[in-house]
């Protein structure tokens, strides 16, 4: 009976345009709208023992459109809403930075703004993730580029059934 952690695979999801309708600088709960079968795709991954982690750029913080607390509030609400579907997201990682942002504290180069791999690297360290048994699904080429830079398979989402894409994408892992 050791305390050894078993390495697990993960599904990393981009947020805007992958899990929810992409609305410019979304931070208000009342503006949030799940895409197609996103909650079902998350539940599918939960049921298979995969970690579900959201990786998202949130430059609206650096632009002064909203605060980090607004991002966290929306993410907390997303998980509360997912409970209706018997699903949950294990962790949210976001980048509030933008090199030419108007809020000085966030106007900088960083390793966490996709396509750089910092957010995935941090999640993998925090959860001891098996990268070979993981993938990232996102709607932009920078999402795939980020995944590949972190040693995780990247899958480009172009609409339609997220569940079907997830199941097909996982066939290529391990």
Q: How confident is the model over 139-159, as a mean pLDDT?
A: 97
14 assigned to active site:
yes
**What pLDDT was estimated at residue 3?**
44
Q: What confidence tier does 113 reach under pLDDT thresholds 50, 70, 90?
A: very high
Question: Which residues lie closer than 8 Å to 21 by C-beta, 6 or more apart?
Answer: 33, 34, 35
Report field, pTM of the whole predicted structure over 0.85: yes
At residue 2, does pLDDT exceed 50? Answer: no
Mean pLDDT of the chain: 94
pLDDT of residue 79: 98
Which residues 6+ apart lie within 8 Å of 55 measured at CB? Answer: 12, 13, 14, 15, 93, 94, 114, 119, 120, 123, 136, 138, 143, 146
pLDDT tens track for 57-107 = 999 999 999 999 999 999 999 999 999 999 999 999 999 999 999 999 999
**pLDDT for the residue 154:** 96
Task: Catalogue all structural domains in the chain, each as residue range(s) with its CATH number.
Answer: 7-102+158-174 (3.40.50.1000)
At residue 123, the 3 state secondary structure works out as: helix
Peptide bond into 115 cis (omega under 30): yes
Is 22 a known active-site residue? no
Does residue 159 carry a pLDDT above 50?
yes
């Amino acid at each position: 009976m050791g305390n050894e952690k078993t390495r697990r695979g993960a599904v990393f999801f981009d947020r805007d345009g992958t899990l929810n309708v992409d609305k410019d600088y979304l931070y208000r709960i009342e503006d949030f709208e799940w895409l197609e079968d996103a909650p079902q795709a998350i539940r599918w991954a939960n049921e298979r023992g995969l970690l579900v982690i959201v990786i998202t750029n949130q430059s609206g913080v650096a632009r002064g459109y909203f605060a980090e607390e607004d991002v966290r509030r929306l993410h907390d609400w997303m998980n509360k809403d997912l409970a209706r579907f018997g699903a949950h997201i294990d962790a949210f990682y976001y980048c509030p930075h933008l090199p030419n942002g108007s809020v000085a504290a966030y106007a900088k180069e960083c390793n966490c703004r996709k396509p750089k791999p910092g957010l995935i690297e941090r999640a993998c360290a925090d959860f001891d993730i098996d990268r070979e048994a993981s993938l990232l699904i996102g709607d932009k080429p920078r999402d795939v580029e980020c995944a590949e830079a972190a040693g995780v398979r990247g899958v480009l989402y172009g609409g339609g059934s997220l569940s079907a894409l997830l199941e097909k994408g996982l066939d290529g892992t391990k």
